[in-house]
Structure 1
Amino acid sequence: MLVFAGTFIYVGTLSQLVYLVQVFPDKIETFKALNCISATSVPLSKFFFMLTSRSRLKTVFELSHHGLSSIPEGSAAKERMLSTLRRARYASWFVVANQALTHVTYLLMPLVFTVFGNDRYLPTTPGETYGLSPKYETPFFEITFVLTCVATAFSAINQTGYIVLFITLVTHELGHFYAITQALDDIHDILSKKEKSCNNPDEETSDDSIDELLIFCVKHHQFLMHYHSKIRVLYKVIFGAHFLSMTIVLVTTLQTMNVWDVRNTILTGVTGIMPLFLYCFGGELLISAGLEMSAAVYSCGWELMEAKQAKRSSYHLFK
């Protein structure tokens, strides 16, 4: 993977820095080079994030396993959690297909144009690949195309792995919110049924079930806050780096839209902006799940508890 990373830096970042020095202060070409440098910094930052965060990711994965196993088997909360994880699996496969199709198209289009046309084409990068100029002559074209393929594969692998990881971790956190909400809804259902049938022979069992569900909610919420803090520490640096990089990419893309190849615009839009969309969308889902849980706390039926049961529940929760 380090060879892939080195090739990516050579074809993308290094070559574009050299080109930037050569064309500065030409406005359009400078914006093109800045666009490419900023866009390549996104998959590169993901690679270093994955490489340097192994120990922290291991801790988070262990917490994910612990959190999943701490939800009672056969409960509605467990089923809600597993249902959320299944939806994340579908989203992850969509990301894999999206990234594969985008990057293959990025390479396939110039190859088709070269095979069936009279000229040689390469995936769009401003200027030349450093040290291989002129790149449209044999053998430099073949060498440059192979290097570009390797660099594109590096980008696709890192983009896909990073996004799937983010989806997985956010989904685990969402699932815990939903599990707590489901447990609170179960408490409401039990209390409502108990109120309708005061002579229920299983009344004591229902009280015990309520105690267990309340204890689960409080203990699992404590775990959720700890889990969230670990993820926040893990991602806080790379979030800022990506938003800064993509701000530059978007500005430079707007400046060069009329003179830039459409393939570059599509690749930038799909592979570069997707992480920002997922950050915002994932954050919105977490906020909504938190609000849903808060509403469930207020509407779980506290007022339907008998004084004795409320005191016993408080004792179990805060002992």
Structure 2
Amino acid sequence: MTLFGGIFLYVGSFSQLIYLVQVYPDKLESFKVMNCLSATLVPFSKYIFMMTSRTRLRNVFEMSSKGLSLIPRGSNAYVKMMQTLRRGRYTSWFVIVNQIFSHVTYLLMPFLLTVFGNHRYLPTTPGDSYGLTPKYETPFYEATFVLTSIGTAFSAINQTGYIVLFIALLNQELGHFYVITETLKDICKELENKENHNENSHEANTIEDKLKFCLKHHQFLITYHNEIQKLYKMIFGAHFLMMTVVLVTTLQTLNSWDMATTVLTAATGI
């Protein structure tokens, strides 16, 4: 992963910074480079985030396991929690399949066009179209093709892992909300049944235990939410800031870019 990160940094950020220094007097070219640089830094910032947040991620995963063990097996709350996690798993697999399909398509199309066509094409990432036009030429085509493919693969793996992590943590948190609501529903049903039957100490103790469980689980949920909030505060702020830069620089280059490229970049940023 560190090797992929270094290659991605070289292909993306480092090379674009060098080009920015070369074309700096040219306002239009500078905006183009800033657009590419900001778009490149988005997945790279996620890579840095994942590498520097391993300890906090480990704590969150341990809390997730602990929270699941606190739920009584066989209860309606436990069943609801499992259903929520199962939906999250299906969503994660959908994201993985979608990312594989889109990135493989953008990698294969330039390769097939190069092999069966008369021009050279470079691989690109979803949302960018420079590789799908033959006007991009380089004297080191083979090396650039390989390095760009590796960088794209790194970006896809990193981005997919980030999205899957977000889905997993979001489903964990929603699941714990559902656990509390399902337990409260069970208490309401027991209270309704109590009106039609004589009260006994066993039912009273059961309701009291469930109320205590709700209070304790609510405290756990608050702590769990705070950990997730700390985990994502930095990356969300940096992500949306760079996405804003992407959109602004895209609009600045509107006169030189065609409408299709602008729409693709804006949609990717959003």
Same fold by TM-score greater than 0.5: yes
**Distance of aligned partners of 1:155 and 1:248 in 2 relative to their CA distance in 1, 3 Å threshold:** same
For the pair 1:177 / 2:149, whether they are aligned, the reply is no
Using the alignment, how far apart are the partners of 1:144 and 1:264 within structure 2?
A: 24
Structure 1 stretches of 4+ moved >6 Å: none
Structure 2 segments unaligned to the other structure (5+ residues): 131-135
Determine the structure 1 residue equivalent to 2:114: 114
Higher mean Cα deviation, 219-228 or 107-116? 107-116
Match of 2:138 in 1: 136
Q: Is the 8 A contact 1:38 1:245 kept in 2?
A: yes
Residue type of the alignment partner of 1:171: N
Are the counterparts in 2 of residues 120 and 136 from structure 1 also a CA contact under 8 Å?
no
1:260 deviation in Å? 5.3
Structure 2 counterpart of 1:136, one-letter code:
T
Contact map agreement 1:81 1:175 (CA 8 A) in 2: yes
Structure 1 residue 110, shift from structure 2 partner: 1.6
Q: Which residue type is aligned with residue 97 of structure 1?
A: V
Q: Are the counterparts in 2 of residues 16 and 126 from structure 1 also a CA contact under 8 Å?
A: no
Quote the residue 2:231 is aligned against: 234
Q: CA RMSD in A?
A: 2.4
Alignment of 1:161-240 (within 5 A): 161-195=161-195, 197-199=196-198, 203-240=200-237
2:168 is aligned with what amino acid?
Answer: T
Letter in 2 for 1:198: H
| Cα deviations by residue, 1:137-170 (Å, 9 ceiling, x for unpaired) | 4xx1111000000000110111011111111111
Share of identical aligned residues, percent? 59
1:106-150, CA deviations, whole angstroms, 9 ceiling, x for partnerless residues?
2222222212221111135899xxxxxx9534xx11110000000
Q: What do the CA deviations read for 1:211-268 (whole angstroms, capped 9, x no partner)? A: 1110110000011111111111122111110110111112223344561595786477
Residue 103 of structure 1 corresponds to: 103
TM-score, with length taken from structure 1: 0.75
What TM-score, normalized to structure 2? 0.88
**CA positional deviation for 1:29:** 2.6
5+ residue gaps, structure 1: 128-133, 274-319
**8 A Cα contact 2:31 2:253, kept in partner:** yes
Provide the C-alpha distance between the structure 1 equivalents of 2:87 and 2:77, rounded to a whole number of angstroms: 16
Kept in 2, the 8 Å contact 1:106–1:267? The answer is no
What are the residue-to-residue correspondences of 1:1-319 with 2, within 5 Å?
1-123=1-123, 135-137=137-139, 140-195=140-195, 197-199=196-198, 203-256=200-253, 259=257, 262=260, 266=264, 269-270=267-268, 272-273=269-270
Q: CA 1:126 to 1:163, structure 2 compared with 1: closer, same or farther past 3 Å? A: closer
**Gap change, CA 1:205 and 1:263, over 3 Å in 2:** farther
